[in-house]
Amino acid sequence: MNRKRILAVLAAGAVVSTGLAVFALHQRAEEGAPQFTPAQVFPGFAAQVKNAARIHIVSHGADFDIRNTPDKGWILPGSGNYPADVDEVRHTLIGLAALETIEPKTARADWLRYEGLETPPKGDAVLIEVYDAAGHPLASVIAGNMETIGDTNGAAGLFIRRPGETQSWLARAVFVPHGAPSDWMLLQVLDLAPARLKDVTIAPAGGRAFTLARAHPSDASYTMSPALAGAAAAKINAIPTALTAFSVNDTRQVSQIDFTKAAHVTAHTFDGLVLTLNVATVGNDVWITLAATAAPGATPTVVEEARTITARSKDWAYRLAPDKGRLLTANETALGANTL
């Protein structure tokens, strides 16, 4: 073996030896480095959940409370004591109790925005604070972005930090933080299957009333009466979906909305439920009141359904989702033009 070949072999061996040495040092460093152990964010909170009496939420554009009262249960005081969605309250409280850190993340204040953890109301984070009846804090967290972590039980990754601290964490979460009052309201006030609806009569404000009806639950289309030339079937059949896919996104006490120039909507189901709505346009929003009765001969189930709907909604006005609002304020001009 010549001299050059020997030197090349020795050089290659040195490189390999150096690599192995670096690898060994790295392994030793890894073995000696402290390992992070997941932990509950609020140890002991699970035992205190039953004592929760107030949840305070701050988000971008919202700052409100959800309170547990002896006579009405969970309500939103800032929305006229409207009933809260108990499932949302339960999911949030249980979710906070189960919240578990996965690993530490940044502690740099200028990097928190990348995790959605700027202090509310700045940015998209949600501050959640829980207090007992005496006003003692039970839990407090700022929740930011969520990400998939491949959890087989359906949990998601949630970036969090404690108020007043810049250290952030990726946590395992079984709830979604909600920062709008409407997210906490019991807004499911009408659940009407499409097959039940028989007819809808709309009396527009300042326009002629018309009825959309069908003879049998199996009929796919409604017929307009009085008939209107140029009214496409698609437009006619869209209007009943405002009731069969009912959707509202806010509420006020009925006295806060002016219904003096409202349109009036009456609907009947094949099994005897009668719905009555007043529909008012306020700026770009459409608000309704909702009441229900049972027609003569209706079953006890329908009678009870009507009673429940009226009892739940009698003091409230509801803001419709925009697409539903356009449908229930339709008039003959809208049906005859391409505006629905």
Residue 26 lies in a domain: no
Per-residue confidence (pLDDT) for residue 330, from 0 to 100 = 87
Q: How far apart are the first and last CA of the chain?
A: 90
- What percentage of the chain reaches a pLDDT higher than 70? 89
| Calculated CA dihedral for residues 239, 241, 242, 243, nearest 10 degrees | 120
Q: Taking 90 as the threshold, does the pLDDT of residue 155 lie above it?
A: yes
Look up residue 27 and give its amino acid. Answer: Q
pTM: predicted TM-score of the whole model, two decimal places = 0.76
pLDDT at 340: 55
Residue 19 lies in a domain: no
> What single letter denotes the amino acid at residue 78?
G
Residue listed under structure tokens 């349109």: 263
pLDDT tens digit sequence for 194-240: 999 999 999 998 789 999 999 999 999 999 999 888 788 898 999 99
Query: Residues of 170-191 as b/e, b for ≥16 C-beta within 10 angstroms?
Result: bbbbbbebbbbbbbbbbbebbe
**What is the reported pLDDT for 338?**
52
**Euclidean distance between CA atoms 280 and 124, whole angstroms:** 32
Q: Does residue 246 register a pLDDT over 70?
A: yes
As for how many domains the chain has, the answer is 2
Q: What is the mean pLDDT of residues 159-163?
A: 98
285 and 306 both lie in a single domain = yes
Beta-carbon contacts of 331 under 8 Å, excluding residues fewer than 6 positions away, are 202, 204, 207, 208
184, 204, 239 — which closes off a domain?
184
In a domain, 10, yes or no: no
Nearest to 175, CA basis, from 67, 98, 120, 76:
98
Are residues 168 and 236 located together in one domain of the fold? no
Whether residue 30 is contained in a domain is answered as no
Query: Is 18 a domain residue?
Result: no
> Distance between CA 278 and CA 203 in Å, rounded?
10
State the average pLDDT over residues 49-53: 97
- 163 and 211 housed in the same domain: no
Tell me, yes or no, whether 212 lies in a domain: yes
pLDDT digits (tens, 9 = 90+) for 68-113: 999 999 999 999 899 999 999 999 999 999 999 999 999 999 999 9
Residue 137 lies in a domain: yes
3-state secondary structure of 139: strand
User: Do 174 and 238 belong together in one domain?
Assistant: no
d(CA 331, CA 208): 8
Give the domain extent around 213: 194-336
Q: C-alpha angle with apex 162: 160 to 167, nearest 5 degrees?
A: 75
Whether 334 has a pLDDT exceeding 80, the answer reads: no
Q: Rg (Cα) of the chain, in Å, rounded? A: 30
Whether the bond into 300 is cis, omega within 30 of 0: no
Per-residue model confidence (pLDDT) at position 26: 43
Mean pLDDT, the chain, whole residue set: 89
Q: How many residues does the chain have?
A: 340
| Residue 91 and residue 64 in one domain | yes
253 and 206 within one domain: yes
Q: Which of 130, 150, 184 is the last residue of a domain?
A: 184
180 and 211: one domain? no
Domain end, chosen from 184, 209, 229, is at 184
For the cut 80, the answer to whether the pLDDT of residue 13 exceeds it is no
Q: At residue 4, does pLDDT exceed 80?
A: no
List CB contacts of 126: < 8 A, sequence separation 6 or more.
Answer: 57, 58, 59, 120, 142, 143, 177, 178, 179
Task: Specify whether 292 is located in the same domain as 242.
Answer: yes
Residues 74 and 175 in one domain: yes
The whole-angstrom separation of Cα 120 and Cα 59 is 5
Paired residues of 35 in beta bridges? none
Nearest to 127 by CA among 178, 185, 67: 178
Residue 117 in any domain: the answer is: yes
Determine the average pLDDT of the residues in 275-279: 97
Place of tokens 């419709």: 320
Poorest-pLDDT segment among 51-60, 187-196, 222-231, 275-284: 222-231
pLDDT confidence of residue 9: 41
Shared domain for 227 and 145, answered yes or no, is: no
Same domain, 73 and 159: yes
Picking from 4-8, 195-199, 291-295, which range would have the lowest pLDDT averaged per residue? 4-8
Start-end of H helices in the chain: 3-32, 45-48, 86-98, 233-238, 241-244, 300-313, 322-328, 332-336
* β partners of residue 139: 130
Sheet holding 285-294, edge to edge: 223-225, 210-213, 197-203, 263-269, 273-282, 285-294, 316-320, 248-253
Q: Is there a single domain that holds both residue 115 and residue 219?
A: no
Give the residue from 95, 111, 93 showing the smallest Cα distance to 168. 111
